[in-house]
Amino acid sequence: MNLNAQVWIDQNAKWHYEFWNIANAGYYDIKNTQDTILGGQLCNQIEQTQYILPSGAIPADTLSLATEYTYVNSDTVFYWKDNQFFTLFNFGANIGDQWLIGINDPSMGQFACNDSSFVEVTNTSSITINSMNYRTITLTTVNNSSLGLEGTFVERFGFMDTNIPSLPFPRFMNCDSTIVFEWNYVTFKCFEDHSFPIYNPSGEDCLSFTGIQDQTQTSAQFELFPNPTTDFINVFSDETGTLILIDYTGKKIKSYSISQSKLIDLSSFARGFYIISFHSKSGTVAMKRVLKI
C-alpha cells in the first residue's frame, strides 16, 4: 500500500467537472455531504448535481443525479449499487486486472448488454499533487458491459481526466450499434476536502457560477411524453410557437407549429437521440431531448 497518500476522500470532499456534448455544455458539482451506515459499512454519501449552461438558444437547467455511497478498504474503493457493494477502484491493481462493477438492471435490456459489467486496467502510473505521490489507474469498459468507466482515476481524487465520455461513477452503456447516444464529454476541473486545500490545475474559477436561476426563469415552457418512445411524441405548452426537430448531429429535420398541443410522428426516423426545440412567439426558447427506441 502507498503510505504517502490517502486512498480515498476525507470529509466535505467537493469535485467540479465541466462537460460538453453536441447540444449543450455545463458542469457537475459533486459533494460528500455526510457519513452514513449502509450495508454494515460507514460510507460517504455523495450528492451529484448537473448544471446545463446557456449555449446559443439552449436555456439553463439543473438536474439532481443519483446519490452515491462509497467506502474504502485497503487499496480498494467500493460503491453501493442495487443493494450490494461492488469494487469501484482498486489502486493496487496491475495492468490487465479486471473487476465486476455491477450487474445489469433488467429494465435496461433494450440496450443488448451482458448482465455482468467489468472494467479492465490498461495502465498504471503515479502523479505528484501538492508534494504528495498518488497512484493512478486507467480504466476501460470490457466489451458488452451494461455499466462502464473510462479514463484515468487517481487515488483520493477519483476521476481526473480530460474530455472523456464518462462520469466519475459508472454509467449505463449502449451495446446496440443501431442506437446513437449523445454522451457528455467530461473534464476534471478541481477538488478539495476537509484536509486537502483546493487542487485546481487549470487556475480558472471553477467553484462559483451565477446566472443559472435567471436563465431558467426566462425559458419557454413545454412538456412532452412518452420519452423514450417507439413512434409518437405528444407535446404540450401554454404558449404558441414553433417546434423544431433536430438530430444528434445538430441538423434540423422538420418544423411544426404548435398551439397548446402537437403530435410528432417519429415512426419513420432511425432509433437514437433527438432534440425538440420550442421557440415561443414571446421570443423564449427551450429544448428537450427525446430517445426513440
Summarize pLDDT for 35-52 with one digit per residue, the tens: 999 999 999 999 999 988
* Max mean pLDDT range (53-62, 83-92, 111-120): 83-92
C-alpha span between 291 and 106 (Å, rounded): 18
DSSP string, the chain: --TTS-SS--TT-EEEEEEE-SS-EEEEEEEEEEEEEETTEEEEEEEEEEEEEPBTTBPPEEEE---EEEEEETTEEEEEETTEEEEEEETT--TT-EEEEEE--GGGGGG---SEEEEEEEEEEEEEETTEEEEEEEEEEPTT-SEE--EEEETTTEE--SSBS--SS-EE----TTSB--PPEEEEEEEEETTEEEE-TT-S--S----HHHHHHTS---EEE-SSBSSEEEEEEEEEEEEEEEETTS-EEEEEEEEEEEEEE-TTSPSEEEEEEEEETTS-EEEEEEEE-
pLDDT > 50? residue 217: no
pLDDT-based confidence at residue 159 (cuts at 50, 70, 90): very high
Ordered domains of the chain (ranges, CATH): 14-199 (no CATH), 220-292 (2.60.40.3080)
Sign of CA dihedral 66, 188, 190, 123: positive
pLDDT score for 220: 57
Least confident range of 55-59, 105-109, 282-286: 55-59
Q: Quickly state the pLDDT bin for 8 (edges 50, 70, 90).
A: very high
Q: Please determine, for residue 59, whether its predicted confidence score (pLDDT) is greater than 90.
A: no
pLDDT in tens, 171-205: 888 777 666 667 788 889 899 998 888 898 877 66
Does pLDDT of 87 surpass 60?
Answer: yes
Q: What's the average model confidence in pLDDT over 106-110?
A: 56
Whole-Å CA distances, 241 to 24, 237, 246: 22, 9, 16
Region 207-226: mean pLDDT is 53
C-alpha cell at 194: 476537509
**Cβ-contact 248, 272 below 8 angstroms:** yes
Tell me what pLDDT residue 101 has: 97
Q: How many Å apart are CA 185 and CA 24, to the nearest integer?
A: 11
Q: Which three three-digit cell numbers place residue 238?
A: 401554454
List beta partners, residue 71.
Answer: 78
Query: Is there a contact between 48 and 70 (Cβ–Cβ < 8 Å)?
Result: no
Q: Please state, in angstroms and rounded to a whole number, the distance separating the CA atoms of residues 219 and 196.
A: 39
Write down the mean pLDDT value for the chain.
83
Strands 68-73 and 76-81: antiparallel
Q: Are 160 and 153 a contacting pair, CB within 8 Å?
A: yes
Q: Which three cell numbers stand for residue 227?
A: 420519452
Confidence of residue 94 (pLDDT cuts 50, 70, 90): very high
Q: Other C-beta atoms within 10 Å of 29: how many? A: 17
Cα 208 to Cα 125: distance, rounded to the nearest angstrom: 32
Position 204 scores a pLDDT of 67
What local confidence, expressed as pLDDT, does residue 169 receive? 94
| Higher-confidence position of 32 and 214 | 32
Pairwise pLDDT comparison (275 vs 69), residue with the higher score: 69
Is the pLDDT at 99 greater than 80? The verdict is yes
**pLDDT band per the 50, 70, 90 thresholds, residue 106:** low
Amino acid found at 283: G
Is the pTM higher than 0.75? The answer reads no
219: nearest Cα among 234, 251, 241: 241
CB atoms within 10 A of CB 249: 8
pLDDT exceeds cutoff 70 at 248: no
Q: Is residue 2 predicted with pLDDT exceeding 50?
A: no
Residue 228 has pLDDT above 50, yes or no: yes
Better pLDDT: 167 or 50: 50
